[in-house]
Amino acid sequence: QVQLVESGGGLVQPGGSLRLSCAASGTMLRINIMGWYRQAPGKERELVARIGSVGTTRYADSVRGRFTISRDNAKNTVYLQMNSLKTEDTAVYFCNADVYGTLFGRPGDYWGQGTQVTVSS
């Protein structure tokens, strides 16, 4: 019912910036929660940031102050602005959408395909 299309991943040097975008389509229902998760080699998938329909946010401690999540409800799109990137941020980043969920709940049922972010000199 919901398709998520991501863009913006790539290779960036430490200290650099990158912006990820994820557009949702395939449904006329409002998506309550949108967010980003990431999975680094040898690690489990972890929360990066989530945002509610009215702009409330949740961030992982490791990215707070460096990353900013935002959304454009008219375009059904969520963004992740990543600044001051570190090598530890290297991971596959996944977009996630939850039609009914809460900010601190489990991830929603819909996932993007994942986009690689590599931070390296």
* Tens-place pLDDT, residues 48-83: 999 998 899 999 999 999 999 999 988 889 999 999
* Tens-place pLDDT, residues 86-120: 999 999 999 999 988 889 999 999 999 999 999 99
121 token code pair: 């000199």
* Tens-place pLDDT, residues 83-94: 999 999 999 999
**What is the three-class DSSP state of 87?**
helix
Residue 28 has pLDDT above 80, yes or no: no
Of the chain, the percentage scoring pLDDT greater than 90 comes to: 84
Cβ–Cβ under 8 Å, residues 33 and 55? no
The residue behind tokens 């049922």 is 109
